[in-house]
Amino acid sequence: MTGSLQTQIAERLTQVRQTLPDSVKLIAVTKQVSVEALRAAYAAGVRDFGESRIQETADKQAQLTDLPDITWHLIGHLQSNKAAKALELFQWIHSVDSLKLAQRLNQIAADLPQKPTLCLQVKVLSDPTKYGWTIPELLNDLPALDQCTDLNTVGLMAIPPYGLESSETLAVFTRTRDLAAQIRQDGATIKHLKMQELSMGMSDDYLLAVEAGATMIRLGRTLFGDRP
Ligand SMILES: *Cc1c(COP(=O)(O)O)cnc(C)c1O
């Protein structure tokens, strides 16, 4: 690892952390980022890493067996037929985006020693380029999701559509926060699902997300530079 890469990533992390309340968890998104850069972030104290692909994560983990205390977060779309592999590689899945996927994960998790931790991906504004539940769809599926008791479902994940004004992006994050609060209050249907985590905010909008109450932000380019 070059000294300058180490220094640059450590400096970027310091800058970002200065803008964050201590309660916000920073997830370093290392998709398409080298193992060397990932190690630099680890050396600077990062223990939460986000990836969007199964194979890329498996390849990286094989090169990082000396770093056992990493928490791996899946942040990309997961096909049901890769659910078992995902549960081997990741402790968190932020991108659970359908009832079918949740039920498949629940089935596999029944045989695991530890429940996987999940967020439900919600689309506050319609966005054909993204996966996830619209709000009416999610409300409709909540009773069935609540039955998935081998999953530790802790909150919501949101990605605003591209090209919004800041005020519109903030409104998406605020709506997501309010939706989590609404679900928390629905004790009649919701016995098992928890809604205390809000995974929202990327390089271009994380300050707005934090303003709206994000508990986890997912940063790639701000830490590692532009992806190839
Ligand atoms: C790539 C990605 C990120 C990180 O994006 P940056 O703009 O590089 O910070 C965060 N969340 C998801 C779901 C992503 O796919």
- pLDDT tens digits, one per residue of 75-101: 999 999 999 999 999 999 999 999 999
Amino acid at 106: N
Q: Rounded CA gap, 62 and 64, in Å?
A: 6
191 CA distance to ligand 1 centroid (A)?
32
Structural contact between residues 37 and 13, judged by C-beta atoms closer than 8 angstroms: no
Q: Rounded CA gap, 222 and 203, in Å?
A: 5
* Per-residue model confidence as pLDDT tens digits over 163-181: 999 999 999 999 999 999 9
Q: Which of 30, 46, 75 to mutate to test the pocket of ligand 1 (most atoms within 8 A of CB)?
A: 75
* Ligand 1 atom closest to the CA of 227, numbered from 1: 8
* Per-residue model confidence as pLDDT tens digits over 50-71: 999 999 999 999 999 999 999 9
Closest Cα to atom 11 of ligand 1 = 218
Antiparallel, parallel or unpaired: β 71-74 and 48-51: parallel
Closest Cα to atom 8 of ligand 1 = 220
Stated pTM of the model: 0.96
**How many other C-beta atoms are found inside a 10 Å radius of the C-beta of residue 133?**
21
Q: Rounded CA gap, 37 and 30, in Å?
A: 8
Amino acid at 92: W
Residue range of the domain that includes 104: 3-224
Closest CA to 83 of 100, 97, 104, 103: 104
* Ligand 1 atom closest to the CA of 220, numbered from 1: 8
Q: 156: which strand partners?
A: 120, 198
Strands annotated E in 117-168: 117-123, 133-134, 152-158
Residue 1 has pLDDT above 60, yes or no: no
Closest Cα to atom 7 of ligand 1 = 203
Closest Cα to atom 6 of ligand 1 = 220
220 CA distance to ligand 1 centroid (A)?
6
Q: Six-digit token pair at 132? A: 């996830």
What CATH number did the domain enclosing 192 receive? Answer: 3.20.20.10
* Ligand 1 close to Cβ of residue 221 (< 6 A): yes
Q: How many domains does the chain divide into?
A: 1
**Could you give the count of Cα atoms lying within 13 Å of 145 in the half-sphere of its Cβ?**
27
Q: Six-digit token pair at 131? A: 């996966």
27 CA distance to ligand 1 centroid (A)?
10
Structural contact between residues 96 and 118, judged by C-beta atoms closer than 8 angstroms: yes
Q: Six-digit token pair at 70? A: 């990493």
Structural contact between residues 190 and 142, judged by C-beta atoms closer than 8 angstroms: yes
* Ligand 1 atom closest to the CA of 218, numbered from 1: 10
